[in-house]
Structure 1
Amino acid sequence: MTGFVYVLGSQTSCGYRTYVGWTLDLDRRLAEHNSGTGAKSTRGNAWSLLYAERLPTRIEAMRREWHLKRDRRLRRLLASWAKGFDHPM
């Protein structure tokens, strides 16, 4: 069964935040985060999909999630890229 790992971004009162997760159904999971039924740390914010990878199995998606959660450089890069689109010059 195909799995996905994803990075979400949201502008909050404390600045721009990112969230990394894995799922079997990307559209459903994004809808859950935005409706307030997703992870506790994502409630109360509007989230947009910044990055996603399709992986052959859920186990590989979980492993990739572990690595992306620790990749601060990638998360900062995605956040700065997303902020550039939120506030055009």
Structure 2
Amino acid sequence: MSHNYFVYILTNKNKTVVYTGVTNDLEVRLKQHLENVNNKYAFTKKYNCYYLVFFERYQYIEHAIEREKEIKGWTRVKKNALIETENPDWRFMNSDIYEE
């Protein structure tokens, strides 16, 4: 049985802040960040980080969590370089994830 876990990076409209997270449902998590029910995602609310610019898929949650921790420990320059390997223009990818 195949599972999907995602490490993702969000940014704000001006691309001045990045947030790294992990989830098993990227579409639902993006909506949760945007709606920010009960102020659960304080960082993303404070800095308006709702725009998906990068994600990776993993089969095992342990690998996804390990990768999330690795990326969170990086400098901003290194995070930017990672984003730019897959998304050089920092295109907001939210609409690619949402099912119609």
Interval containing the TM-score (normalised by the shorter chain): 0.7 to 0.9
- Provide the C-alpha distance between the structure 1 equivalents of 2:7 and 2:79, rounded to a whole number of angstroms: 13
Q: Which runs of 5+ in 2 are unaligned?
A: 93-100
Show the counterpart of 2:80. 76
Q: Which has the higher strand share?
A: 1
User: What per-residue deviation string (whole Å, max 9, x for no partner) do you get for residues 38-84 of structure 1?
Assistant: 522111525110100001111111000001111222323449953xx
| Partner residue, 2:26 | 26
Q: Distance in 1 between matches of 2:20 and 2:59?
A: 18
> Identity over aligned residues, as a percent?
26
Unaligned runs of 5+ in 1: none
TM-score (norm 2): 0.67
SS at match of 2:52: strand
**What's the TM-score, normalizing by structure 1?**
0.75
CA, structure 1 residues 74+50, in 2 after alignment: closer, same or farther (shift >3 Å)? farther
Indicate which of 57, 60, 76 corresponds to 1:57. 60
